Amino acid sequence: MTTVAENMVRTLRANGIDRVYGIPGDSLNGFTDALRKDGTIRWVHVRHEESAAFAAAADAALTGDLAVVAGSCGPGNLHLINGLYDANRSRVPVLAIAAHIPTVEIGTGYFQETHPQELFRESSVYAEYVADPSQMPRLMEIAMRAAIEKRGVAVLVIPGDVALAEIADDRAVVIPRANPVVTPSAAELEKAATLLNGCSRVTILAGAGVEGAHDEVVALADALAAPIVHALRGKEHIEYDNPFDVGMTGLLGFASGFRAMEDAEALLILGSDFPYTQFYPAGATTIQVDIRGEQLGKRHPLDLGLVGDVKATAEALLPRLKRKSDRAHLDDATAHYRRTRAKLDDLAVPARGKAPIHPQYLARLIDEAAASDAILTADVGSPTVWAARYFTMTEKRRLIGSFNHGSMANALMHAIGAQVARPDQQVVALAGDGGLAMMLGELITITQNRLPVKTIVVNNSSLNFVELEMKAAGFVTYGTDLENPDFAAVAQALGIFARRVERSEDLPDAVAEVLAHDGPALLDVVTERQELSMPPSIKAEQVKGFALYAIRTVMSGRGDELLDLAKANWRQLF
């Protein structure tokens, strides 16, 4: 007799799946035993199901292939939800197998009962309940195809007794990903060309949708004499080998990226869902290209919306463009970028004497010492700021983060999946102290699975970015202190090579040593708590907020905090 679970494993194997992330549980016994008997699919055992989901998201992001995660009934699969939200919002294909309580007990308020298909509805492109063995393998095939073709999460909810039941149809269908070429109509392309040809100052905003279209986008920029501004998720795909690059815009971006958008007469948005409406130019002619028509005009009013993949659309549009001889806008934007870049680099220097280490200096050293094909992950918060500003992309480097969902603690969890997917590449996780502490147990996942992940901790003893947001809004910082352990000592107790650095003079050798270590390693770096990550454009309400924060801080008897803030940031302010 072949069980439903055995057929599920057979289907996964037929589709080239060779690993599943998760934690076992009794409701998953049929599935995990089928994996054991099959012997070709690795069970990647983690210490928290949330980590399994984030790891699967990173795996799928790197390979472009379906990644699989499994969770037991009730709390087990409920722990998956944050990572599945991240995967779904990052548009990567993940299949989640969510075990359920016994079929006869559903609806009785049984031990660990939830309703997973309802819980996962918003974090997936497909979520369905397998109530009877006769629904399989059809629902398995539908779920896999939905995840692959919609580039999102598909959740298959299956009670343990159904997984152990006999299956009538033991087929194993291979589900390849379709590769359609989608371009706008000729009339739409002509209209786009007319608009762009009629504007003298064109700027390109490039997002994650430019993946695989680097050369075509650069060719467009050359013809249009257009600076290329990138959103954070577009950074890894367009920043390298790009003479038209002027950096990021947005809250984490560069002044040069902000200015190139503000000065544009026309804005060409390519594969970007950049959400911050205040950074779009108010009066510019705006054209957007996206493979998903429902995304058009979602963030900013459009003069023309085009449905198409960026590579094919750029190739079709280029011959219709008149090469611009006036390159003043481009020259001005790239010159401004060089000045902005130099100012940012001036901040990435050693601190004086015994002062805490500047996080910019740490990020710069990591960038210089990391492999040219390193996979870099960064925690949400200040580590993402420093990664965005100081990690340099190459054609082979990758940058992964929770850039849409914005979850804390993602760096280490993403690094696990990245290292499993790419065992021969260097994986470096830039973790915040708050993020690492939140999922500290996943250091054990690294050792148990013998993953040579390099974890660099930005240890500022605070929820640093939350503090910055409080200050900008005029609030006295509250509830953000972190009383941290010596993370290096913790790592060493877990069998991980580790170092702790408190002075700038010791940092270069420590970074080099940790990154070169043959095996998992951790570097705990004590950094300046009061370092400000300045946005590219400071609004009046932010100035008002900081002034209010200063007044309230003094009145609350914490004036010494203002002195520390000024001392730490005089380089940026004067």
Count of beta carbons in the 10 Å neighbourhood of residue 196: 23
CA–CA distances in Å: residue 61 to residues 44, 56, 91: 17, 8, 8
Collapsed DSSP state (helix, strand, coil) of residue 462: strand
- Residue 49 annotated to the active site: yes
Please write down the HEC assignment for all residues of 278-322.
HHCCCCCEEEEEECCHHHCCCCCCCCEEEECCHHHHHHHHHHHCC
CB of 273 closer than 8 Å to CB of 264: no
Annotated catalytic residue, options 279, 465, 487, 497: 465
Residue reference for tokens 């060309």:
193
Annotated catalytic residue, options 104, 111, 122, 182: 111
Which residues have C-beta within 8 Å of that of residue 154, sequence separation ≥ 6?
A: 94, 95, 96, 124, 125, 126, 127, 143, 144, 146, 147
> Which pair of structure tokens corresponds to residue 103?
């079929």
Phi, psi (degrees; rounded to nearest 5) at 548: -65, -40
Q: Which residues pair with residue 525 across a beta bridge?
A: 458, 501
- Residue 465 annotated to the active site: yes
- Residue 546 annotated to the active site: no
- Residue 380 annotated to the active site: yes
Between vectors from CA 442 to CA 438 and to CA 443, what angle results, nearest 5°? 110
> Which pair of structure tokens corresponds to residue 320?
């219709």
- DSSP H or E stretch at residue 346: helix 328-347
Annotated catalytic residue, options 380, 385, 427, 514: 380
- Residue 487 annotated to the active site: no
Q: Please, how many CA atoms are within 13 Å of residue 211, restricted to the half-sphere of its CB? A: 16
Annotated catalytic residue, options 6, 31, 46, 49: 49
Closest CA to 268 of 328, 220, 232: 220
Please write down the HEC assignment for all residues of 250-273.
CCCCCHHHHHHHHCCCEEEEECCC
Count of beta carbons in the 10 Å neighbourhood of residue 346: 11
Please write down the HEC assignment for all residues of 120-185.
CHHHCCEEEECCCHHHCCHHHHHHHHHHHHHCCEEEEEEEHHHHCCECCCCCCCCCCCCCCCCCCC
Residues carrying an active site annotation: 49, 111-112, 380, 465
